[in-house]
Structure 1
Amino acid sequence: MSYLNPPEFAKKMIDAGESKALMSTRDTVIRAYMAGAILALAAAFAVTVTVQTGQPIVGALLFPVGFCMLYLLGFDLLTGVFTLVPLAWIDKRPGVSVKALLRNWGLVFIGNFAGALTVALMMAIIVTFAFSVPPNEVGQALGTIGESRTIGYAEHGAAGMLTLFIRGVLCNWMVSTGVVAAMMSTSVSGKVIAMWMPILVFFYMGFEHSIVNMFLFPSGLMLGGDFSIGDYLVWNEIPTIVGNIVGGLTFVGLTVYATHARTGPSRSNGVESAEEEREPATVAG
């Protein structure tokens, strides 16, 4: 069958977390670099489509193509390892320690950021003819996104920070659901359909994804956005990462693990208990 039931894909989640935690440094960084680059290209594609059509829903409908490509190629996003690797540690898999978990997160962060930054530079060159002319319409859109999602939050103070954090939580709730949903199917079409739905939700709703932001904000800085690196880190990237950890691990990883990998004992239905109580009396008679 092309569908795996919840206990089966719960085991796959733990196995995947163990594999990623124990992966070599070289493979971890390469896979993370390619994941960051492909997702950045998808974000650039979605922004381009939105600008050209004037319809954000069209860009959101097409953005998941990048996520599907990187997943099928076996590359790793920070948002995914936030959810999967801790499960291997909780399950006490051999060799998966807190140190191994943090090592994996750190290497994937570096790889994702490097990949996204590479594409940010390439896109900045494209939309400015190698910085020889002002940014075109797409470049202007990339420049303004960073302003609204840094200074825009800062203007609201603590309320803005909370809003940013919650958007990070909701983002990885959806993104990690996409990662897990792909494990439910053994066919390419099934995986793509399962991934597409939650990724569409996160992108159209404007939730905060730490890796997408690794592309959008450096692009904005290169294209004249009116915000600083400090604004980007304090009023977006760092709170977004924290929110992504909480969202993916709390609402996807731990919930699936608790109810499907470590299922609680079933309650008796009452009928069986009553029959068990009557049985000795019947035998005695």
Structure 2
Amino acid sequence: MAETRSQARACRSMSRHSTIESASAEVPDPDASGPLTPEEREEVEQHAHLRPLAIYEVVRREGAEELARAGLSLWWSGVAAGLSIGLSIASEGALHSLLPDVPWRPLVESTGYTVGFLIVILARQQLFTEVTLTAVLPVLAKPTRGGFRALMRNWGVVLAANMLGTALFAGMLAIPDLLPPFVTEGALAVSRHMAELTPGQAFGRAILSGWMMALLVWLLPLAEAARIWVIALVAYLIALFELPHVVSGAVEVFLLLYRGEVAAGPALFGFLLPFLVGNVIGGSALFALLAYGQVREEMEAR
């Protein structure tokens, strides 16, 4: 009886193997280049797009490097990112003040929002919504207690540092006459508009914002010389669609808090917490899992 079961399992295994081979035979060979010269093949390779597995590996390695960074380095890089992202709100506010109050004003003022993101990403400063994707992928690939602890440490340090940087920048905006009035008043106007969101709206929109930031991280390995335009496009759409971002949104919340236009409780639970949870869900639980899911079988096959 045991021998019969063993033979049956062997037959099923051979059947599956032959089915896989048959299916593989029907798939065109990507290396079957046809009658091309070696120079032409090399040119094709140079222009070929990265496969999803290659993009995944680029982002995963960056995440592994971030998890291994010293806490102090993460901290100061995160503070710098919080300060730099404040330029998005200041620039958007300046354009808001200087442009006429017409229906097309958001189309132009949203370009100011791209400034801080361009600085942060090109300078490789630590932005929490980037970490939510890059640092998660290595843990998904090899889930261990040590990896999870490193992820929580990375998230905690970067988020706290970002919040400090945004609080400092918002403090500078709130100081009377430190910056031209049109900058401060414009930033306040933009911040007040954000404060009109209900917690439910803030949470729902933050999910989409987190997903778009993770999408940006996924696109950057392909962008090459077009990195500036890819960053600017994604940041511009986040501003135009009025999607909350926990770090840039913190500048707005702190500015309203300093000016006494919002209390501490609503600032934390009505805005910052929904922004944070929504961004994490969109950037990690949604996009990172989808990114891992589309390459998992290829990884296991290796």
TM-score clears 0.5: yes
Q: CA deviation at 1:142?
A: 3.2
* Counterpart for residue 209 of structure 1: 245
SS in structure 1 of the partner of residue 135 of structure 2: helix
Contact 2:92 2:187 in 1 (8 A): no
Contact 1:144 1:220 in 2 (8 A): no
* Counterpart for residue 156 of structure 1: none
Contact 1:31 1:75 in 2 (8 A): yes
- The 5 Å alignment of 1:34-113 reads 34-54=80-100, 55-92=105-142, 97-113=147-163
Distance 1:247 1:17, change over 3 A: same
Q: Which of 224, 227, 234 is the equivalent residue of 2:262?
A: 227
| Alpha-carbon distance in 1 for matches of 2:222, 2:145 | 27
Distance 1:122 1:206, change over 3 A: same
The one-letter amino acid of 2:86's match is A
Structure 2 residue ranges without an equivalent (≥5): 1-45
Contact 1:142 1:216 in 2 (8 A): yes
Contact 1:29 1:107 in 2 (8 A): yes
Percent pairwise identity: 21
The alignment's TM-score, normalised by the length of structure 2, stands at 0.75
* Counterpart for residue 21 of structure 2: none
RMSD: 2.5
Deviations 1:101-141 (A, max 9, x none): 1110110011111111221122223xx2259xxx9344334
The alignment's TM-score, normalised by the length of structure 1, stands at 0.79
| Alpha-carbon distance in 2 for matches of 1:63, 1:33 | 19
* Counterpart for residue 181 of structure 1: 219
Distance 1:93 1:184, change over 3 A: farther
| Alpha-carbon distance in 2 for matches of 1:32, 1:88 | 20
* Structure with max Cα Rg: 2
SS in structure 1 of the partner of residue 261 of structure 2: coil
SS in structure 2 of the partner of residue 97 of structure 1: helix
Contact 1:182 1:192 in 2 (8 A): no
SS in structure 2 of the partner of residue 226 of structure 1: coil
Deviations 1:227-284 (A, max 9, x none): 1111110100011100000111244222122113544999xxxxxxxxxxxxxxxxxx
Contact 2:96 2:186 in 1 (8 A): no
| Alpha-carbon distance in 2 for matches of 1:60, 1:149 | 13
| Alpha-carbon distance in 2 for matches of 1:23, 1:94 | 18
Distance 1:262 1:41, change over 3 A: farther
Deviations 1:23-69 (A, max 9, x none): 10111011111111111112211111122114222121232232122
Distance 1:235 1:145, change over 3 A: farther
Structure 1 residue ranges without an equivalent (≥5): 154-159, 267-285
Deviations 1:152-193 (A, max 9, x none): 34xxxxxx33221111101111122112211223x3x32112
Contact 2:210 2:283 in 1 (8 A): yes
| Alpha-carbon distance in 2 for matches of 1:237, 1:206 | 15
The one-letter amino acid of 1:20's match is E
Q: Which of 26, 31, 37 is the equivalent residue of 2:72?
A: 26
Contact 2:90 2:184 in 1 (8 A): no
Q: CA deviation at 1:218?
A: 1.2
1:129 maps to 2:177: yes
* Counterpart for residue 202 of structure 2: 164
SS in structure 1 of the partner of residue 222 of structure 2: coil
Contact 1:18 1:96 in 2 (8 A): no
* Counterpart for residue 27 of structure 2: none
Q: What is the total number of aligned residue pairs between the two structures?
A: 251
Q: CA deviation at 1:198?
A: 1.8
* Counterpart for residue 192 of structure 1: 228
Distance 1:46 1:261, change over 3 A: farther
| Alpha-carbon distance in 2 for matches of 1:59, 1:178 | 21
